[in-house]
Each structure stands twice: as structure tokens, then as C-alpha cells.
């Protein structure tokens, strides 16, 4: 069996100029990533994710062990031809504009000018930078630079995509888009190595994950296996009558089960995207990245032009994710936010940064009741991993008054 | 190759975005024309042109050299420092191709800038006489002694080894101790050799000196050739001037058994010149025999002079003749500068392959300056190596030989006195400076860069 990426006892020790102060950045790492797998490499800052990638790509020499990538050496042009790489930060030539940047990288891949042209336009469209494509990338905001970095990684239609913290600096739509892209690529048989400390990113898209700490793998396995709580059951229904609810409560009490009845919350991500789409439909001008985007044609073999956003707002996205979404929600219904409060929400969102789930959002009408919700706070692996309390919801009410239970609507 | 070219074009863009490049270019664009009208030299038209060409080309060469050093280093170190290199080396391109692309980009930039600036210098030089007042005489002198490329024939140094050995043998131990105190045998030989050679180039009163030249290839027999000479004397006359009777031509035709037809004219002149200064005799080129033979004779006339007249060994006498045009010479001078720039681009790539920006710049500037003063440095070691151990000769001097010898091949050394720079000289410089030294540096750079850990951060 050939792995897409295989590391055998991979070790990297950094020492200072005198050979002192040794840092075990990566310590005896054994990873096996299968072709057509979306693999998440998780870990807190400084756990060795980036160092691992650098060794895979030949930017650093391993102190011990080997790294095989697509069955060979990452520096071999035959292999690097099939790899797309988005580094930790988008290291771009500041004096080139977006189009020139992509053209340069396209030329490094030896693509002919026609292919380059087609792909550049498709990618610019996809990452929403078409309108600003003639500005030097040195003037871009971090997120915009990130987008062009992503486009750069895709210009060769890679078989293996290595993304190092792809979502840092990106707005939620960009984040969502990257996740969609990863899923799309996986559908097409590509392999993705996703490094992140943002748990939500990884959780939504990865088939398997490994959690690094101190350069060592602490846990590894399928996301489903790692996260599934075998001792809990979740039932999601359309709004049902109070009578039905109390009958169910009765049954559950008879079973002596601990339970909780709430209205499912919409994910903030979904809500945010919906808000921005509405704003865009009203043609609010922006000098930033435009988010009505498709995934580059040449990346989706079928070539079917589809608007990702349609799917995003219809919440069907979460069904597609291979991993079970682990949503933790505040269940207390709060006063309804009038439509004008959307701006508030946006500003809160930017402060909240990378962990939108922790925000308390007033429930808004749920469009598709099929959205899967889970009531329990999971004190799982993911929680322990980060000091970041992202996974801890502000409140989860175990036994809410039965009357309020199912009514999230105003 | 396409990938190398992609890196090269990107390097050119990068260089054009650098403020230094822009500053240098603007500086040259302003300074060169200004210099054309401010450089006056000794006031004559010729002096003016010589000063301009000398300053103009030197400045161009200096600034382009510095620019080459800075750009070739910056383009590599900046990519590493700002980590764009991460996204480049992970593409299907070999590391050596990246360095080749960078060096190629710098060279293409150099060629473009050199064409521009050498073009300006040439343009100003060619048009300057039209804009200044000058006598007809001055213009004539400029045509003969500046707008041309003259080949130089220097009489070979006489072989005096046997005589020196004979003289040395005759010297007794006491003689040696008194005449040459504290000198090694080698040094005594050196002195004796010089003295004997000078004797061969000294004319006592009433004596002839004849120099013979072969293979004199004159472009056009209707033009002139020039005998450039400098007198030295044993007793300086009161007015510091001596007489000389000169004959230039083919004396074989007057010898017995020489064929009648096919005779060439013989030029003759008696003149009075200041000693220890250069003078030129203008002689019609038709005096050169068909087979390229030419003899120059000097006679120390008895009643007029009362001193021995000598022609110093290094520059006492030479024959100059027009062998090419000024344009041809200028082109080769520009190519010579290009050789220098190519060498520096390779040097910059090497320095950048393992040093950080400031250190690499320092390293290259030191080598550049050393190369510019290489003759001086080699000489100073030359004086030393007899007294101090021979280790110097084999280490320091060997290293110095590896350095570029910019001063030895300075283009203005040819253009100012309108000396012919031959293609073979240029070829030799290109071979040594570019093909051997430059490629050696480049190969080393490629090797180091290929095996370097690019993501390693050194604080
Ligand atoms: N060039 C370097 N020199 C010394 N230490 C380094 C170097 N690069 C990374 N490290 C150290 O190695 C560890 C792992 O870093 P990294 O792989 O970048 O972490 P992350 O998982 O956040 O990507 C950190 O402790 C970091 O300080
Ligand atoms: Mg990292």
C-alpha cells in the first residue's frame, strides 16, 4: 500500500549555533496518510506541525527518520509537480499583483500560457480577488493575501494539497469556502493534509486526525471514532406539540435517562454567511475580497458551476461533512434580534476571532429542521487539547422548564 | 529553462522595485550628460574627451558593479528572509535552477543598463566636438589620438642573461660586498639585468639605436602611424631639451642585393624635444614594408647634443598604428565591463547562498575593492616575499591570483590613450574572469544553496 504521506521515525531537533538549547520540534513521528484522505494535523502552537511540513517538503532536513511524500522525495520535481502548498503565512512577492503572482507560480509549474490564463481567471474568481487583481499583493490585507496564497497552491490542480493553518486571517466565508474546497477535492480523489489549531476547521472536514503535542502524536484516529459518545442518543424533530414533548419526557423519565430539550441553534457561521449574502444582494460596495465565489472550474472535474453559498445557507453543508458535527449551544431562548442588529453581530464576530461557536447568538428561525444538534458539552480530546476555551459553551441548561423547551421562535 | 526564465524575469522586477536600483539609474542618467559638459581635463578638446570617457565609463562601471552586487545578493537573501523561497522551492524547480535564474536575471538587467549607459557615454563622446569650440589642430589631434584604436608595438626587452652571468662571474667577493651590500644573488642579478638592458637602449653621442618590428598590420596605408617616445638623459641640458634624428622605414631595401622595385619611402626628421616627457612622431603608414617589416632608427647627433640619450625600459618607445575604430574599441571596453559584472553577479550569488544580506554585501565589497587594487596588493607582496618567508607567495598570493584583477583590465586604460583592445585580450579576460573564476563561484553557490536548510532560522 502506498501512502500519500508517510513519515518513519521523523525527528527534528533544533539546536543553537553552539549546538546547545535543543528543541525537540518533532519527535519520532510516524504518520501514514492514505491517498484520497483528508488528514488533520492538530496541535497547539509550537507543537511541530509546521516543522513536519517543512521536512516533508525538504525545507528542513530531518535530524533522524524519513519523510516520504507521494512515495518519494518532496524536492523531486516529478513529485512537487503534484503538490500544492500553502505555507503558514502567505509569503508572496509584494511587488507583484495577484494576476502576476499566479502567473509566476504557474510558470514555475511549467504550465503553458493558455492553461495559466484560464486557471488564473478561475482561481481569482474563486478566491474573490478578481476586482483587486491588479493591485500589488503587498497592499492586501492578511486575509486577502491568504486567499491569493491559496490560489497559488491550487494553480497546478494538485493531487496532494498541504495547507498550513489555511484559515488564519480569513473571514468566515473564506473559511467555509476552504472547507468546502477541501471536501470537493476529497470527492475528486485528492489528498489533503490540513494543519491547524482551529478545531472547528479540522472537525468539519477531516476523515482522520492526529494530535501533536511536543512533537509527539498524542492521539490519532478517525474523527468519528474519537468524538462519538456512545453513551448518548440525540433526537431531532420538527417543532412538535407540547403534549408530544411531555409524552417524550415521560418516556425518558421512565427510562431514568438524563435529558435536555432545546431548540436547535443555528451555527454562527451559517448565520454570518447568510447576513453577508443579504448585504451583497443589496450591492453594498466593498474594497475587500468579494465572497460570491465558485470553486475553480478546473478543480471540479465535472465543471458544473455551482454556487457554494446556496448550499451554505441551506445548511446542507453540515450533512456532507464526514464527521458528526459537535455543536454546543446555549438553549435559553433570548429576545429576538431585530434585523438591524446584524452589524453588531459582525463586529462581535471579528472580536471573537477564531472561535465563533462561543458566541451567544439569539436563535433565529431555523430553516431546515434536519440540522443535527447535540446538546451536551463534550469534554473530549479536543477540549483538553487547547487552553482555548473555544469548545466550552457559555451555558448549557440541563433541565429547562418543559414549556419553553421546543420554542425557539418568536 | 522556462522555469529558470520565470525566476529571471521575477528577479528583474524585484530589482526594478528596489530603491537602490532606481537611485543608481537616476544618478547615472543625470551625471553622465552633466559630466559631458563639466569635464574639461587639461582644457584641450582631447583632454576633455579623455576625461569624460574615463570618468563616464568608470562611474558607469562602478555603479553597475555595486548595483550588481546589491541586487544579486538581495534577490536571494530577501527571498530567504521574507520566505517567498518556501513557495518557490516547493514548486517543481530544482534549487540550482533558482540560483541560475537569479543570476541570469541580474545579468540581463546588467546588459540592458550597460547598453543604456555605455550608449549615453558613447553618444556624448561622439557628439561633444560638435558643441565645443576647438581649433582645427585640436580636432585633427582628436581624430588621430582619440577617435581611434591604436595597436601598440613595444620592442622586446633584450636578452642579456649571458652578459649578466659573465659580469657576475667577474665580480669578486669584495666587489659584491661593496657595490651590492646585503643583497641576495637574485637581487644582484635583477639589478645587473636592468642595467644591461638599459645599456642596449642608450645612444652615446654620434651613435645609432635601431628597433625592428615585424607583422605590423596597418589598416590603411594612407593613414599615419605614430612613434611614441620619452627621452632620458645622463646629463640634463640647460633647456632640458635634446636633439634627435629619426628615421622610420625599411632599411633592407638599401642593403646589397635588395631588389629594385617594391620600394617603400623612408621618413626622416630631426627635432628637438623636452626630456622625460612623451612625444609622438606622426609617420605616414606607407613606410611599412609589404611584409609588415618596420625599423625605427634614432641617431644622437654629435654637435647638437653632448649627453647620452636613453629610452626608459618600460615606456621609452613604442610604435602606435590605427588598427581599429573607436567604436570597435568602445564596444570591447563595454564588454570588458560586462565580464566584470558577470563575475560580480556570480560572486553575489555565492555570498548570498550562505550569508545574510549585510554580511554578504560586506564580503563582496571587500573582494571588489581588493580586485580593484589587486595590482597594488600583488606588488606589495612581491616586495615582501624575499624577506619574509615564501609561505606568502604560495598562500596569500595564490589567493590573490584567484581574485578578479579589475585594475589590470580597466577599460579606460585603453580608451583614454586610444589603445587597441584586441578581441583576444577580451577573450582572455572572458575566459579567466567569467568562464573560470565566475563559473567556479557559481558552481559553489549552486552547491551550497542546494544543500542548505532554507527554513532554518538563524537568530
Ligand atoms: N528554525 C527554528 N529554530 C529553532 N526552533 C524552531 C525553529 N522552527 C521551529 N522551532 C521550534 O520548534 C517547535 C515547533 O514549531 P512549529 O513546527 O512551527 O509549531 P506549529 O505546530 O505551531 O507549527 C517550536 O517550539 C518552535 O519554537
Ligand atoms: Mg505552524
pLDDT at B258: 57
Distance in angstroms (rounded) separating the CA atoms of residues B333 and B319:
22
**What whole-number distance in Å separates Cα of residue A298 and Cα of residue A154?**
10
- Give the residue on B whose Cα is nearest the Cα of A93: B84
Mean pLDDT along residues B363-367: 92
pLDDT at B219: 74
B137 and B6 in one domain?
yes
Q: Does A85 touch chain B (CB under 8 A)?
A: yes
B297, part of any domain: yes
Q: Give B203-243 pLDDT, tens digit per residue.
A: 888 889 999 888 887 777 788 888 889 998 888 888 888 99
Q: Which residues of A touch B92 (CB under 8 A)?
A: 77-78, 80-81, 108-110
- Which one of B22, B71, B78, B86 makes the best mutation probe of the A interface by having the most chain A beta carbons within 10 Å? B86
Nearest ligand (C-alpha, residue A47): 1
pLDDT digits (tens, 9 = 90+) for B97-130: 999 999 999 999 999 999 999 999 999 998 888 8
What pLDDT does residue A294 have?
60
A342 vs A129, residue with greater confidence: A129
Of the candidates A143, A167, A2, A128, which has an alpha carbon nearest to the alpha carbon of residue A72? A2
Tell which atom from ligand 1 comes closest to the C-alpha of A26: 14
Does B122 lie in the same domain as B92?
yes
Please name which of B231, B218, B371 lies closest in space to residue B315, comparing C-alpha atoms.
B231
Of B7, B13, B86, the CB nearest to A91: B86
Contact A108 B453 (CB under 8 A): no
Residues B229 and B194 in one domain: no
Distances (CA, A) of B124 to B36, B49, B56, B64, B131: 6, 9, 10, 19, 10
Say what the pTM is: 0.76
Max Cα separation, chain B?
87
Give the closest ligand to the alpha carbon of residue A23.
1
Residue of B nearest to A86 (CA): B87
Is B29 inside a domain boundary? Answer: yes
Q: How far is CA B26 from the centre of its chain?
A: 28
Q: Which of B290, B321, B352 is the last residue of a domain?
A: B321
Same domain, B72 and B176: no
Q: B28, B117 in Cβ contact below 8 A?
A: yes
Q: B150 — alpha (psi -120 to 50), left (phi > 0) or beta? A: beta
Report chain A residues whose CB lies below 8 A from the CB of B93: 77, 108
Give residues with Cβ within 8 angstroms of A69, minimum separation 6: A4, A5, A56, A57, A79, A83, A160
Instruction: Provide mean pLDDT across the span A207-217.
Output: 88
Choose one of B301, B321, B341: the last residue of a domain. Answer: B321
**Of the candidates B104, B124, B121, the residue with the CA atom closest to the CA atom of residue B58:** B121
Question: In this complex, do B87 and A91 lie within 8 Å of one another by their Cβ atoms?
Answer: yes
Phi/psi of residue A301, nearest 5 degrees = -55, -35
Burial-class residue A189 by CB neighbours within 10 Å (0-12, 13-18, 19+): exposed
Whether B456 is covered by a domain: the verdict is no
Is residue B303 domain-shared with residue B248, that is, in the same domain? yes
> Is residue B399 one of the residues assigned to a domain?
yes
Q: Say yes or no: B91 contacts chain A, CB-CB below 8 A.
A: yes
Round to whole Å and give the CA distance between A38 and B94.
28
**Domain range for B261:** 203-321
Do the beta carbons of residue A341 and residue A241 sit within 8 Å? Answer: no
Of B2, B10, B453, Cβ closest to residue A93 = B10
Partner-chain contact A17 B7, CB within 8 Å: no
Mean pLDDT, to the nearest integer, of A363-367? 43
Q: How many Å lie between the alpha carbon of B135 and the closest alpha carbon of chain A?
A: 54
Number of domains in chain B: 3
Three-class HEC string of chain A: CCCCEEEEEEEEEECCCCCCCCEEEEEEEEEEECCCCEEEEECCCCCCHHHHHHHHCCCCCCCEEEEEECCECCCCHHHHCCEEEECCCCCCCCCCEHHHHHHHHHHHCCCCHHHHHHHHHHHHHHHCCHHHCCCEHHHCCHHHHHHHHHHHHHCCCCCEEEEECCCCCCCHHHHHHHHHHHHHHHHCCCEEEEEECCHHHHHHHCCEEEEEECCEEEEEEEHHHHHCCCCCCCCCCCCCCHHHHHHHHHHHHHCCCCCCCCCCCCCHHHHHHHHHHHHHHCCCCCCCCCCCCCCCHHHCCCCCCCCHHHHHHCCCHHHHCCCCCCCCCCCCCCCCCCHHHHHHHHHHHHHHCCCHHHCCCCCCCCCCCCCCCCCCCCCCHHHHHCCCHHHCCCCCCCCCCCCCCCCCCC
CA distance B204 to B187: 28
Are B6 and A104 an interchain contact pair (Cβ–Cβ within 8 Å)?
yes
Q: What is the pLDDT of residue A346?
A: 37
CA separation for the pair B39, B52 (Å, rounded): 6
Which of B295, B321, B347 is a domain's end point? B321
Q: What residues contact residue A78 under an 8 Å CB cut-off, 6+ apart? A: A72, B92
| B299 and B178 within one domain | no
- Coil, strand or helix: which one is B44? coil
Residue B459 lies in a domain: no
Instruction: Report the C-alpha gap between A256 and B185 in whole angstroms.
Output: 117
Pick the more confident residue, A343 or B198.
B198
Q: Is A219 on the interface with B (CB under 8 A)?
A: no
- Put simply, the answer to whether B94 touches A81 (Cβ < 8 Å) is no
pLDDT range class, residue B170, cuts 50, 70, 90: confident
- Cβ-defined contact of A96 to B90 (cutoff 8 Å): no
Start-to-end C-alpha separation, chain B: 35
Mark which residues 123-182 of A lie under 8 Å from B by CB: 149, 152
Residues of B in contact with A95 (CB under 8 A): 13-14, 17
Give residue B457's pLDDT: 75
Residues B223 and B270 in one domain: yes
Instruction: Give phi and psi for A69, each to the nearest 5.
Output: -130, 125
Q: Are residues B189 and B119 in the same domain?
A: no
**Together in a domain, B184 and B132:** no
A300 vs B323: CA distance, rounded Å: 70
The closest-lying atom of ligand 1 relative to the alpha carbon of residue A88 is 23
Going by pLDDT thresholds of 50, 70 and 90, the confidence category of residue B340 is very high
**Residue B296: pLDDT band with limits 50, 70, 90:** very high
Would you state the pLDDT for residue A87? 93
Looking at residue A178, its pLDDT comes to 86
Cα-to-centroid distance, A14 and ligand 1 (Å) = 8
How far does residue A138's CA lie from ligand 2's centre (Å)?
Answer: 22
- Measured in degrees and rounded to the nearest 5, phi and psi for residue B356 equal -80, 170
- How far is B272 from B237, CA to CA, in rounded Å? 12
Q: Assess if residue B152 is contained within a domain.
A: no
Q: What is the mean pLDDT of residues B329-345?
A: 95
**Distance separating alpha carbons of residues B371 and B392, to the nearest angstrom:** 18
Residues B225 and B196 in one domain: no
CB B79 within 8 A of CB B7: no
Domain assignments of chain A as residue spans, ordered by start: 5-227+267-299
Which letter does DSSP use for residue B59 in this model?
H
Mean pLDDT (chain A, rounded): 74
- Give me the residue from B95, B456, B458 closest to A60, CB to CB: B456
Confidence of residue B342 (pLDDT cuts 50, 70, 90): very high
Domain shared by B12 and B137, yes or no: yes
pLDDT at A234 over 80: no
Q: Which three cell numbers stand for residue B196?
A: 644591461
Band (A192; pLDDT cuts 50, 70, 90): very high
pLDDT in tens, B64-91: 999 999 999 999 999 999 999 999 999 9
**Pocket residues: Cβ below 6 A from ligand 1:** A 14, 23, 25, 43, 45-51; B 456-457
pLDDT confidence tier of residue B299, bands split at 50, 70 and 90: very high
As a whole number of angstroms, the distance between CA A93 and CA A97 comes to 8
Does residue B346 register a pLDDT over 90? yes
The answer to whether position B458 is within a domain reads no
Q: Domain A5-227+267-299 class? A: alpha beta
Q: Is residue B457 part of a domain?
A: no
pLDDT at B360: 95
- Cα(A133)–Cα(A121) distance, rounded to whole angstroms? 10
CB contact under 8 A, A108 and B91: yes
CA-nearest residue for atom 8, ligand 1, is: A51
Q: Please, which pLDDT band fits residue B61 given cuts at 50, 70 and 90?
A: very high
Residues B16 and B137 occupy one common structural domain = yes
| Chain A to chain B Cβ contacts (< 8 Å) | 74
Atom of ligand 1 nearest to the CA of B457: 1
Q: Which burial class, exposed, middle or buried, applies to A304 when counting CB atoms under 10 A from its CB (0-12, 13-18, 19+)? A: exposed
What is the CATH number for B220? 2.60.120
Amino acid at each position: 500500500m502506498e501512502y500519500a504521506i508517510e513519515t518513519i521515525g521523523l525527528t527534528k531537533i533544533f539546536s543553537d549555533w553552539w549546538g546547545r538549547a535543543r528543541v525537540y520540534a518533532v519527535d519520532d513521528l510516524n504518520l501514514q496518510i492514505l491517498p484520497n484522505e483528508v488528514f488533520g494535523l492538530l496541535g497547539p502552537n509550537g507543537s511541530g506541525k509546521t516543522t513536519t511540513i517543512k521536512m516533508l517538503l525538504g525545507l528542513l532536513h530531518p535530524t533522524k527518520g524519513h519523510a516520504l511524500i507521494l512515495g518519494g522525495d518532496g524536492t523531486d520535481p516529478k513529485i512537487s509537480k503534484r503538490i500544492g502548498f500553502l505555507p503558514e503565512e502567505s509569503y508572496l512577492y509584494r511587488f507583484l499583483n495577484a494576476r502576476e503572482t499566479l502567473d509566476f507560480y504557474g510558470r514555475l509549474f511549467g504550465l503553458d500560457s493558455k492553461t495559466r490564463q484560464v486557471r488564473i481567471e478561475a482561481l481569482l474568481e474563486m478566491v474573490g480577488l478578481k476586482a483587486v487583481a491588479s493591485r500589488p499583493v503587498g497592499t492586501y490585507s492578511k486575509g486577502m493575501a491568504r486567499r491569493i496564497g491559496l490560489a497559488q497552491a491550487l494553480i497546478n490542480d494538485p493531487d496532494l494539497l498541504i495547507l498550513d493553518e489555511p484559515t488564519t486571517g480569513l473571514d468566515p466565508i473564506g473559511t467555509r469556502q476552504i472547507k468546502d474546497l477541501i471536501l470537493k477535492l476529497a470527492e475528486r480523489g485528492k489528498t489533503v493534509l490540513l494543519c491547524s489549531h482551529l478545531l472547528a476547521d479540522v472537525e468539519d472536514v477531516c476523515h482522520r486526525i492526529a494530535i501533536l503535542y511536543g512533537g509527539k502524536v498524542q492521539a490519532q484516529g478517525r474523527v468519528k471514532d474519537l468524538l462519538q459518545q456512545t453513551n448518548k442518543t440525540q433526537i431531532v424533530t420538527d417543532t412538535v406539540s407540547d403534549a408530544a414533548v411531555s409524552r417524550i419526557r415521560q418516556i425518558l423519565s421512565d427510562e431514568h435517562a438524563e435529558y435536555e430539550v432545546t431548540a436547535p441553534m443555528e451555527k454562527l457561521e451559517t448565520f454570518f454567511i447568510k447576513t453577508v449574502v443579504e448585504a451583497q444582494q443589496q450591492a453594498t460596495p466593498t474594497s475587500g475580497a468579494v465572497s460570491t465565489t465558485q470553486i475553480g472550474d478546473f478543480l471540479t472535474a465535472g465543471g458544473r458551476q455551482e454556487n457554494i453559498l446556496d448550499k451554505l445557507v441551506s445548511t446542507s453543508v453540515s450533512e456532507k461533512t464526514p464527521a458528526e458535527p459537535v455543536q454546543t449551544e446555549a438553549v435559553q431562548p433570548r429576545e429576538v434580534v431585530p434585523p438591524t442588529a446584524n452589524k453588531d453581530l459582525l463586529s462581535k464576530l471579528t472580536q471573537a476571532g477564531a472561535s465563533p461557536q462561543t458566541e451567544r447568538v439569539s436563535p433565529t428561525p431555523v430553516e431546515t429542521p434536519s440540522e443535527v444538534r447535540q446538546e451536551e458539552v463534550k469534554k473530549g480530546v479536543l477540549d483538553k487539547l487547547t487552553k482555548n476555551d473555544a469548545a466550552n459553551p457559555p451555558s448549557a441548561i440541563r433541565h429547562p422548564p418543559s414549556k419553553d423547551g421546543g420554542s425557539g421562535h418568536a | 529553462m522556462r522555469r529558470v526564465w520565470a525566476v529571471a524575469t521575477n528577479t528583474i522586477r524585484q530589482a526594478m522595485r528596489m530603491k537602490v536600483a532606481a537611485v543608481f539609474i537616476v544618478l547615472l542618467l543625470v551625471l553622465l550628460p552633466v559630466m559631458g559638459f563639466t569635464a574639461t581635463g587639461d582644457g584641450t578638446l582631447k583632454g576633455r574627451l579623455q576625461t569624460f570617457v574615463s570618468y563616464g565609463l568608470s562611474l558607469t562601471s562602478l555603479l553597475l558593479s555595486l548595483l550588481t552586487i546589491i541586487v544579486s545578493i538581495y534577490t536571494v537573501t530577501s527571498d530567504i528572509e521574507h520566505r517567498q523561497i518556501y513557495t518557490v522551492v516547493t514548486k517543481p524547480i530544482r534549487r540550482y535552477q533558482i540560483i541560475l535564474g537569479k543570476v541570469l536575471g541580474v545579468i540581463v538587467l546588467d546588459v540592458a543598463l550597460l547598453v543604456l549607459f555605455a550608449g549615453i557615454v558613447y553618444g556624448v563622446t561622439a557628439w561633444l566636438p560638435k558643441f565645443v569650440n576647438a581649433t582645427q589642430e585640436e580636432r585633427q589631434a582628436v581624430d588621430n589620438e582619440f577617435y581611434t584604436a591604436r595597436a601598440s608595438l613595444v620592442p622586446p626587452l633584450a636578452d642579456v642573461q649571458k652578459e649578466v652571468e659573465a659580469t657576475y662571474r667577474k665580480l669578486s667577493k669584495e666587489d659584491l660586498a661593496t657595490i651590492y651590500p646585503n643583497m641576495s644573488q637574485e637581487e644582484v642579478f635583477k639589478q645587473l639585468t636592468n642595467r644591461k638592458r638599459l645599456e642596449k637602449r642608450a645612444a652615446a653621442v654620434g651613435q645609432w639605436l635601431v628597433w625592428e618590428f615585424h607583422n605590423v598590420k596597418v589598416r590603411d596605408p594612407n593613414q599615419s602611424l605614430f612613434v611614441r617616445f620619452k627621452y632620458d638623459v645622463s646629463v640634463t641640458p640647460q633647456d632640458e631639451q635634446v636633439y634627435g634624428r629619426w628615421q622610420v622605414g625599411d632599411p633592407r631595401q638599401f642593403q646589397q642585393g635588395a631588389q629594385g622595385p617594391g620600394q617603400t619611402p623612408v621618413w626622416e626628421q630631426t627635432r628637438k624635444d623636452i626630456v622625460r616627457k612623451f612625444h609622438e612622431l606622426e609617420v605616414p603608414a606607407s613606410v611599412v614594408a609589404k611584409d609588415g617589416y618596420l625599423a625605427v632608427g634614432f641617431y644622437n647627433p654629435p654637435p647638437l647634443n653632448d649627453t647620452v640619450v636613453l629610452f626608459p625600459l618600460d615606456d621609452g618607445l613604442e610604435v602606435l598604428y590605427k588598427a581599429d575604430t573607436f567604436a570597435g574599441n568602445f564596444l570591447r571596453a563595454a564588454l570588458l565591463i560586462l565580464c566584470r559584472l558577470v563575475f560580480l553577479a556570480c560572486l553575489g550569488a555565492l555570498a548570498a547562498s550562505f550569508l545574510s544580506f549585510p554580511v554578504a554585501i560586506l564580503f563582496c565589497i571587500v573582494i571588489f575593492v581588493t580586485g580593484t587594487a589587486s595590482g597594488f596588493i600583488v606588488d606589495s607582496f612581491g616586495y615582501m616575499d624575499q624577506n619574509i618567508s615564501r609561505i606568502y607567495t604560495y598562500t596569500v598570493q595564490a589567493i590573490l591570483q584567484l581574485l578578479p584583477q579589475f585594475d589590470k583590465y580597466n577599460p579606460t586604460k585603453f580608451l583614454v590613450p586610444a589603445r587597441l583592445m584586441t578581441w583576444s585580450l577580451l577573450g582572455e579576460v572572458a575566459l579567466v574572469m567569467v568562464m573560470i573564476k565566475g563559473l567556479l563561484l557559481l558552481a559553489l553557490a549552486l552547491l551550497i544553496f542546494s544543500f542548505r536548510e532554507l527554513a532554518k532560522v538563524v537568530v
